[in-house]
């Protein structure tokens, strides 16, 4: 199993909007049969992410498929990405981890 973790940085004034975007991402992942969650750091180091999205994958190709059409149609996903990007202060950091049993 793999985990893909997306770390997002936003200004405090945009935090609720960012959480709405991530909630939509979590719902879309779940609708596609994936286990996903939003992570909200209670503490964070300087430069640490404000919010995170994490999705479990059984195969790495699921990530590419989900990111292309994850929150609806290809056009809806593109619009979601553009709108979310407007409130991000830096590009998202993407980590792909392998779960070790």
Banded pLDDT at 23 (limits 50, 70, 90): very high
Query: What is the pTM (predicted TM-score) of this model?
Result: 0.87
Helix (H, G, I), strand (E, B) or coil at 16: helix
Radius of gyration, CA atoms only, the chain: 13
State pLDDT tens for residues 38-91: 999 888 778 788 899 999 999 998 888 877 767 777 788 788 889 999 999 999
How many distinct structural domains can be found in the chain? 1
What CATH number did the domain enclosing 30 receive?
Answer: 3.30.70.100
3-state helix, strand, coil in the chain (%, to 5): 40, 25, 35
Say how far apart CA 45 and CA 27 lie, in whole Å: 28
Domain assignment of residue 18, given as a range: 2-98
């Amino acid at each position: 199993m793999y985990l893909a973790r997306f770390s997002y940085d936003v200004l405090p004034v945009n935090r609720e909007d960012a959480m709405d975007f991530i909630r939509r991402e979590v719902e879309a992942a779940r609708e596609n049969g994936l286990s996903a969650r939003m992570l909200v750091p209670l503490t964070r180091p300087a430069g640490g992410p404000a919010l995170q999205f994490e999705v479990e994958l059984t195969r790495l190709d699921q990530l590419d498929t989900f990111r292309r059409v994850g929150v609806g149609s290809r056009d809806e996903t593109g619009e979601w990405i553009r709108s979310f990007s407007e409130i991000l202060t830096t590009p998202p950091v993407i980590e792909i981890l392998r779960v070790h049993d």
